[in-house]
């Protein structure tokens, strides 16, 4: 299955971000991708963290959700909508918090999965400070879905978002439930990404014998924030199949069921677990 990690440098205008995303998705589809993964906050990197509150849509309806469904249908892609802000169930405006959610759409434009980011990023080095809990409500449940590829293989796919990458127990739950592919739409900061991004992605692939598709924000945004980029596809043996350092790009690679099966047969570590 050919997969595409879509790297972006999203800004503070939703219309511009969707236009850029559309062009990148069309490029991925033209190259033969079956699955395309957009980065975290593909639709908005606001001037302030609270900007996403005004954009939050109720689950099931809204211009960004319609755009995702229409794009998946028009391009014939399994489309993972990075993340977008969703209103908490039953909440009325003005919102004080929202959900940071990944939505997955089939090539028919049907929504097949919704995952709310469980782990909320907090960082303070004395100069840069982030606290996602100030505007986000955490999710509670891991989410997986099945993706039947064109070659007949049915991939079990586990969802995660950015800071989730630091919590291996989430990915172990995915693997224990049969996941073969892990998705990580992200907006890692330049500081933390430079230090930890690749090693964490490769570790999640190796310890779970799963493929990983990590789509990231990568560059300097119009709000002054700098993200690490380095969107990549990693195979179940931890080999980086494709990577893009910075800038908008489509990162393409092939994931092969036979390669996954061979890795798991050669090193049956998932069968040797004694805890959990």
- Annotated active-site positions, please? 40, 117, 162
Residues 17/43, Cβ–Cβ less than 8 Å: yes
Helical residues (DSSP H) of 51-160, grouped into ranges = 51-55, 63-75
To the nearest 10 degrees (0 to 180), the angle between helices 190-208 and 168-176 is 30
d(CA 188, CA 225): 10
- DSSP E strands, 82-235: 84-86, 98-105, 111-116, 122-124, 129-131, 136-137, 144-148, 154-159, 181-183, 211-214, 218-220, 226-228, 231-234
């Amino acid at each position: 299955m050919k997969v595409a990690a879509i790297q972006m440098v999203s800004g503070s205008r939703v219309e511009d971000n969707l236009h850029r995303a559309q062009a990148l998705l069309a490029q991925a589809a033209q190259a033969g991708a079956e699955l395309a993964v957009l980065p975290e906050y593909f639709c908005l990197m606001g001037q302030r963290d609270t900007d996403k509150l005004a954009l939050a849509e109720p689950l099931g309806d809204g211009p960004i959700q319609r755009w995702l469904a229409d794009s998946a249908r028009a391009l014939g892609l399994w489309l993972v909508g990075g993340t977008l802000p969703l209103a908490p169930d039953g909440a009325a405006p003005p919102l004080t918090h929202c959900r940071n959610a990944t939505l997955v759409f089939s090539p028919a434009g049907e929504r097949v999965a919704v995952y709310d980011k469980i782990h909320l990023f907090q960082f303070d080095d004395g100069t840069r400070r982030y606290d996602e809990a100030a505007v986000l409500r955490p999710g509670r449940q891991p989410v997986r879905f099945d993706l039947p590829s064109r070659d007949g293989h049915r991939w079990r796919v586990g969802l995660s978002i950015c800071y989730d990458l630091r919590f291996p127990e989430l990915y172990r739950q995915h693997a224990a439930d049969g996941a073969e592919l892990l998705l990580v739409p992200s907006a890692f900061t330049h500081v933390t990404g430079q230090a930890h991004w690749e090693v964490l992605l490769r570790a999640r692939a190796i310890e779970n014998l799963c493929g990983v598709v990590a789509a990231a924000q990568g560059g300097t945004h119009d709000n002054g924030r700098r993200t690490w980029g380095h969107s990549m596809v990693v195979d179940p043996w931890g080999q980086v199949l494709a990577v893009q350092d910075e800038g908008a790009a489509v990162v393409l690679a092939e994931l092969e069921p036979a390669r996954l099966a061979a890795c798991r047969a050669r090193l049956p570590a998932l069968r040797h677990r004694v805890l959990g």
